[in-house]
Amino acid sequence: MRNRSCLSIVLAAGLGTRMKSDLPKVMHEIGGLPLVGHVVKALQSAGSERISVVTGPDMPALEKLVYELAPSARCYVQTDRLGTAHAALAARPALDFPADDVLILFGDTPLVTAETVGRVRKALADGADLVVLGFETRRPFGYGRLLTENGRLVAIREEKDATEEERKVTFCNSGIMGFGGAQALALLEAIGNSNAKGEYYLTDAVEIANAKGLKVVAVSGTEIETQGINTRAQLASCEADFQARKRRAALETGCTLLAPATVYFSHDTVLAPDVTVEQNVVFGPGVKVAKGARIRAFSHLEGAQVGENCVIGPYARLRPGAVLGAESRVGNFVEVKNATFGTGAKANHLSYIGDASVGSKSNIGAGTITCNYDGYLKHRTEIGAGSFVGSNSTLVAPVRLGNGAFVAAGSVITDDVSRDSMAFGRARQTVKDGKAKQLRDRLQAAKDSKS
């Protein structure tokens, strides 16, 4: 929609009573991102340069979240909940400076896409004064029906008010609407509350616009992307639809998912072509995986970058700040946090590497840990390129191993190790002949005395 300005109003004041939660409804998450965050992202991608979010009273956490997602957004409070049109008018200061397109959406429809928002905007650009997004469904019960004549939307009829013939209509209201900027405020202000609940409903704008001789049309989205969320069950169902969408996208971009239904994505997971993901892998927020990498079964990744042709897992955990260079390996039961691996570096078994850098082609033996926390502060461990750390070693940070350093198995390293040096940090082995039998005999006698 080049050269057309856009103001979007997101209605997010609902308490979510049926969620049975103290958290505002739109702050519950799909794919690791709050519901309202998905809507804001779609609007940004659709070119909406002005976003206003209508919140309820005493929702500082929601306002904080909105400003984190979109620093230029504005929040407005709907003090009394008197219907959807009343909620939209809570953003009156924004409407006093209308854009070419004014969109009104709900904060609990996280699967709406930028492409669908774009269809609403295109209809406005083509001359419509009011656009309603609808969807076809085989189960229309409970939805408002979109009644059209000769390509014109003439009314939105709620289930309880519909005739038998109107109830056969399967084209239903999503609740998402677009107004031509020149008409938006006047149409919203014309909506009255002469109904049983005494509330102001956005849907009344359709008949008001028609009475004014304005052009009113409906465009189509899908039932899945326009679904709203009011209960935990609906939240779970929406999560399943979101995951199915992400899995399809991964497959379509050239990734291999060995068991797609067992792979869980976050809203911002990025997989390059030719990535292979095995069974039961979870991607938390902030993960990027480069081409040719293989994520093996039962691994969990969050806030991590995986380089080309890396192998992760099985049963590996990458925590925030893990950055793995090309062809590096993080194997079974290895945890990496806030650490970088150079090209070809390896930690194949049973290790914790935190607050560290591991140089290229270094090898970390099984059971090695970097002791990064002293109870008060975090410290870093630096392991130079081509180093070898033997199994069951403990590197007490801050400590540095030079390039080509060698740490003997079972060592506790507290001092720096210079380039190409070997470090031993363990007690000398002592063997006492016959001592094991003496100990067993003494313990057995003690046990027998108590029986």
Alpha-helical segments (H) within 46-197: 60-69, 84-89, 92-95, 114-125, 181-190
Rounded-to-5 percentages of helix, strand, coil across the chain: 25, 30, 45
Task: Confirm whether residue 230 is marked as ligand binding.
Answer: yes
Task: Confirm whether residue 204 is marked as ligand binding.
Answer: no
Task: Confirm whether residue 14 is marked as ligand binding.
Answer: yes
40 touches 70 (CB < 8 A): yes
Task: Confirm whether residue 29 is marked as ligand binding.
Answer: no
Task: Confirm whether residue 25 is marked as ligand binding.
Answer: yes
Who's near 282: CB < 8 A, 6+ residues apart?
263, 264, 299, 300, 301
Task: Confirm whether residue 83 is marked as ligand binding.
Answer: yes
Distances (CA, A) of 237 to 35, 169, 279: 13, 25, 21
Task: Confirm whether residue 186 is marked as ligand binding.
Answer: no
349 is catalytic: yes
Question: For 97, how many CA atoms within 13 A lie in the half-sphere containing its CB?
Answer: 6
Task: Confirm whether residue 11 is marked as ligand binding.
Answer: yes
Task: Confirm whether residue 296 is marked as ligand binding.
Answer: no
CA 234 to chain centre: 17
| Six-digit token string for 397 | 């940070």
Kindly report whether the peptide bond that precedes residue 273 is cis, defined as omega within 30 degrees of 0: no
Task: Confirm whether residue 235 is marked as ligand binding.
Answer: no
Task: Confirm whether residue 173 is marked as ligand binding.
Answer: yes
Who's near 186: CB < 8 A, 6+ residues apart?
none
End-to-end CA distance of the chain: 88
d(CA 44, CA 33): 15
**CA proximity to 352, closest of 392, 324, 406:** 392
Task: Confirm whether residue 232 is marked as ligand binding.
Answer: no
Q: Is 241 helix (H, G, I), strand (E, B) or coil?
A: helix
Catalytic residue among 28, 38, 86, 349: 349
Task: Confirm whether residue 384 is marked as ligand binding.
Answer: no
Task: Confirm whether residue 337 is marked as ligand binding.
Answer: yes
CB atoms within 10 A of CB 301: 29
Task: Confirm whether residue 363 is marked as ligand binding.
Answer: yes
AA identity, residue 11: L
**CA proximity to 39, closest of 90, 93, 113, 137:** 113
**Mode of pairing for the β-strands spanning 270-271 and 394-396:** unpaired
Task: Confirm whether residue 319 is marked as ligand binding.
Answer: yes
Task: Confirm whether residue 366 is marked as ligand binding.
Answer: yes
Q: Which neighbouring-strand residues pair with 306?
A: 289, 324
Task: Confirm whether residue 404 is marked as ligand binding.
Answer: no
| Six-digit token string for 333 | 């039961």
Q: Is 439 helix (H, G, I), strand (E, B) or coil?
A: helix
Per the annotation, binding residues for acetyl-CoA are 366, 372-373, 391, 409, 426
Q: Residues annotated in the binding site, as ranges? A: 11-14, 25, 78, 83-84, 108, 144, 158, 173, 230, 319, 337, 352, 363, 366, 372-373, 391, 409, 426
Catalytic residue numbers?
349
Residue ranges of the binding site for UDP-N-acetyl-alpha-D-glucosamine = 11-14, 25, 78, 83-84, 144, 158, 173, 230, 319, 337, 352, 363
Q: Which residue ranges make up the annotated binding site for Mg(2+)?
A: 108, 230
